[in-house]
Amino acid sequence: MMKMIAALCVAVPCAASAQASQQRASATMADGPLTLEQAVAAAGGSAPMMEAASAGVEAARAARTTAALRPNPSLQGQVENVVGSGPYRGLRSAETTLGVAVPIELGGKRGARIAVADAQLSRAELQAAMTAADVRYQVTQLYVEAVAAARRLSTAGDQHRVTGDALHAAQVRVQAGRASPLEEQRAMVARALSLARLEQTERLAGATRENLARRIGRPVDGPLDDAWLDALPPVTYGPSAIASATGTLTLAAAEADLAVTDANVRLFRAARVPDLTVGPALRRLSATNDTAAVFSVSLPIPLFNAGRSALAQARSERVRADSQRRATALDVEQAITDARAEVANAAASARAASGPAMTAAAEAARIARIGYREGKFGQLDLLDAERTLADTRLAAIDALATYHNAQARLERLTAPVPQGETLP
């Protein structure tokens, strides 16, 4: 009893400390921005696709266990020389036989069956890895859209604030008699249009957050990692690497399909060998009350179904899988080449839109604002400069989003087989 009390005294502070640690970790995660890796981790734990892939792996493991089992023996009973005439009337001369029929698999059927199950298990594990890569790709796309939408919302808010300042400046100029009322009306139109764009952008930003929250299984109320969107690769020169599908998940899955068909060919070839059934039994003779051993051997005759058609089908499936594997390798290499070019072009567009073009547009808008306040530029010049700056910001956001989406697609195409996974 004293030991139990002492254990409780030690366990309660430990549990409280663990709970406090979890609360601190949750608070840290809640205070900081939601990063892409956190979103991917959260989605991996709640995605129905991952649950389905895990169930597929468990089913393949159960099938592997089943494939290794040997055939069950059969209990046989037989009564002869009964309900006849003369000395065989009734059960006086009955011969009762009780035995066991034990099937013996020949031709390596069990090993071939295990090989098929192993190939199917490897394919299921690869499918789970492909599902995880698909989930990461989908979450990355949603995260990119959410971050880009938040930045578009900020740009729309700045534009709405600028149109408000322009409207106020136009009203001051009109009241002072330095401008016609047309400038005030034009500024009011620009203000109304910017408000409509702000409301539309706000709704789109909310929709992207809801889609991201739905995918990761948790609300997205806090900030996102906005600086992540600006990450661009360094500029590289020279020829790009040759695209290769070797070691990618997609090609590994095609090779796993080929391995399954190879194992099926061996299984159907082994199925053509008839199995042997032996039946040791014990017979009792009622007339003399004696017993005797009986031993039977049976072997099926492959007269009507010799398994040729099934083996031919398996071989054709193997040829089809091999052709699909080679076609998959070509498709993956072509897709990788296109994705690399798309990533490089998107990165160049993002650098141009975020660099010199953005600087020039911001400087032009600044000069236009100063000149408009001092009466050196007209309102149309100011509105044109502000519109150019807003369009340049949106173009930069779109270019950065395009780059990250292209990079996510390239990473999905080149996703390698996980460590510890054995290629078939």
Residue 143's domain spans which residues? 36-227+248-300+311-414
Asked if residue 252 has pLDDT above 60, the reply is yes
Q: Which phi and psi angles does 218 have, rounded to 5°?
A: -155, 150
Residue 420 in any domain: the answer is: no
pLDDT at 307: 86
pLDDT in tens, 104-147: 999 899 999 999 999 999 999 999 999 999 999 999 999 999 99
CA distance 287 to 189: 117
Confidence grade of residue 231 (pLDDT, cut at 50, 70, 90): confident
Burial 346-365 (b: 16+ CB within 10 A, else e): bbebbbebbeebbeebeebb
**For the domain that residue 205 is a member of, what is the CATH number?**
1.20.1600.10
CA distance 97 to 88: 17
Asked if residue 298 has pLDDT above 80, the reply is yes
Residue 372 in any domain: the answer is: yes
Asked if residue 239 has pLDDT above 70, the reply is no
Overall pTM > 0.75 = yes
Residue 7 in any domain: the answer is: no
Beta bridge partners of 279: 296
User: What average pLDDT score do residues 187-213 get?
Assistant: 90
Confidence grade of residue 379 (pLDDT, cut at 50, 70, 90): low
Is residue 424 within 8 Å of 264, Cβ to Cβ?
Answer: no
Residue 419 in any domain: the answer is: no
Residue 233 in any domain: the answer is: no
Residue 30 in any domain: the answer is: no
Residue 280 in any domain: the answer is: yes
Residue 14 in any domain: the answer is: no
Asked if residue 150 has pLDDT above 70, the reply is yes
CA distance 29 to 23: 10
Pairing of strands 276-285, 95-104: antiparallel
**Cα Rg of the chain (Å, integer):** 38
The percentage of residues in the chain with a pLDDT greater than 70, rounded to a whole number, is 86
User: Domains in the chain: how many in total?
Assistant: 1
Which residues, at least 6 apart from 167, have a Cβ–Cβ distance to it below 8 Å? 184, 187, 188, 190, 191
Which tokens go with 275? 């199995």
pLDDT at 316: 95
